[in-house]
A and B are shown apart, each in its own frame.
Chain A
């Protein structure tokens, strides 16, 4: 063996394996609801690739663990065993355990721990081979290495043609211990009909020596799927104590290592579909053609060719725009990667709480910026958890309310304008106005609920430290509430809103920007400065006349907008750039913007126009400034600041309160 470092491939292996585990999990969940052979195949294939990779990249513990899972799956695949809830549960726990192993692998820690070892033995015990090795014996054998193994190795016909050489494998086996090889010649055809590259031989091999099963299995890793392989312990020892039944006690331990790893060891690469790369290459090609066309103007230019120049420039603009979209598209990943964790979660939570939940996932292919995607996971988990914990009722309460036993939880992602909207809706009890009001009064959040609209009451749940669960389950009462959900979403430049009807259910709507790297904005002039106001937060812009204005005590200014009055924020005041700025409201423009669920008018001198702004972090290049979300560079090379509407509104609120 050469000593090429395989470590360079680890990251790819981890990423692929995570995908594999996700696929396994979703297929297992589908299997739970009555599955078919293809699902079992899919699970098997995923387990198989993980096992092969683990063995290749030097994670023998993981390979050994997956091997047991795979043996069990093999029995399901062959129909030697029927799928039942117990097996699905066991395999789901194995998926969790493997995730834990991957986390430890990424952190460079030892892979196997007591829990994985216990689960591995459970798997081994569940594999009901003709004379299933007793778990006690298996354990001893694995720990110390057993003294004798029987290996039945029957290559499929095409194995030799595939370049897999039994001689090599047998040599490796011979290094493990003493071999006794018995060929099976029954299937050999007549010489005339023998196709030399087909394999008709089979072997029964007796291997003696202190060898772990995994070590033997790893010899055959490359030919899995190309042969029938059975590795059995030659039991010569005295019988062991009775086998352990599937132990439910591990379930709690299974989920423990999961939560803590989430944040750690985050992969910082993106896997990009080849179609996206191809379209990029196409576009770059177009761009090069346009460039060479424009290049011809270098030799000489006369007025007759101006039309051609304009044409070229237009083409350049078009291609640049497409290229930009394509490049941004590379960072766009389907939201399915976040949605995929929910079937499992919903199932587990439902079981735990004695609620029957049907999960509908809609629009999983909606694409989101990777950064947004990474950060939206936790808020979504929280909302889903809440919906099951607080929203959906138990079957008897549902029946009492005249609804079906099974509650529906729906996650829907869609594009809406320049935003992504994710809706989490349930057909549960809806928000309990009285409970919320009582809690808010108790917490001193409000003085009285007199005259509060339902919307205003619903908004209360976004207040810090708010939870109405009558009893603290292990789901609620974690000290993380809806306020954190909202804060997280707002930090991403998005917003959360709630609609709820008592007895009918609730809908949480999360609106997110498509990407954080480029925004569409309106360029506004304030004094000598340019500011970009994100288009997504603009309602409209108006020129005000005197009669639409009111000044209220305390220095606040209001203007009439449609049927109400909105406060005015003078940008030159807010940002301290009064020099040259217009002070008469009638002379300038007011941009009506929306953020944090409130509307205000931003007073600016004038608007220049709409443009796309590539967001540069102000924090990274200077420091954090309240009311500013970043900066961008304008066509003339000057810097324009991007207005953080929500931040500005918050700041204004504080200023008023002070």
Chain B
């Protein structure tokens, strides 16, 4: 009976990559499958020894050879370069035969495995993932190279379970790891935590520790897991988290509403602040743009929608102000800003923006403008005021100081009496100036002056009465055309004062040698009441003096008794009543002063 091997063609026909070699590594027999594996032709160049078969990787073979001679089953990984140049890896297992002279060799192509292993190792390095294992029975711990690297310990460092856990930062981090590891040992529950370790070099590092337990007979025998250095990522994410938190607090506390508009699907998402801003309940909001449109003040609607459209088409940035009417009916000023996001083709897909309630800012702004206006007016008055202080007070006081100096130094004895006379005049002027100044200040500060209905004709009559001596002396022709019932809403003493001033001015600046004709008319023009004083006196050259006519201490006639303060006081009194005074005149052709009083409703701010 033939041996089975001979019946079936021996090794050559085995469907496995196997070979029979002797102690010199010479090939005695091999399967065709093996030859195919190495791309060799079975008929012709059959290799004579192992080196020829796998190629010139003598180092690997020498190692193998030595082990074979020791008589053990031997495993070796060898590399082989194919005729086409590709690198292949084989796992070679050699089994000694009982005769002690020969060995069976089995080849396995592990190129794919080797490649993926390499890849995995590389990935581990790049991802900084290490592995570890705890044998709970022998209490021995194995760390991979990367695990050691993460801990910054030397290559030969031998950890145990305790030293391993002691790397975790004292406090919450160590407590946590001890907790999860204990639980894993007791219950076999896996864990996945992110904690801080303090490396052997003293550096703090964020790591991710993933662990699992192997339970045999209800008892954990082994713990294993991976260990990843996530320091960079964690720190970034913590930083980002802090930033996000801060931003959220800022947004929440600032009354800024954030909206997100899905342009493609016409969906509008609001954050909580938006609902507060628009005083809309979340459940009442449909989430479409039309819902927003509906809240915009009708006067601002067209412009606001245009702004959105322009932003989407890319014509301009969305940065605008509009008013809304909230669901409670209040009007709010909203400042809206937004940014359009586009796909790769540049089509608008999304618009995100912020709304801020600027009503209060608007209000304050308006108030400031009003204040500024008032302040400007007051500043002008104050400037005039400064001028009078500078001019009239100082000119008289300097006169006094010069005159008294002369008296004391007896500079010109013949003029002593004259000096005394001039001192008297100067002090009288000073006194008069102070009285007038007091008048001016009173207008600007007197809170007791009450608005009331003032009969125009009645007031004028009493003014005329008060100067009847002057009228008797100069005999002017005064024609009054005023409706008996015409009333203005004003401050009575101011009206009387203005009338008196215009009246005495006309008399004072009448033409010499010609009777003064003065017409006083009043007209109710609906939106205001105009009272005019027209005379045929000297008139004023407005080209030259118009700009400063109502300023303090401007006189234009070189008149000895002109003090130049009358029109200034009148102007201030008119200002205080929200009324206006204007003048029309030509030199030598008389003058017309017109007083414009606003209708009552515009004057109620002073009530």
Q: Are A and B subunits of one complex?
A: no
A interface residues with partner B (beta carbon < 8 Å): none
B interface residues with partner A (beta carbon < 8 Å): none
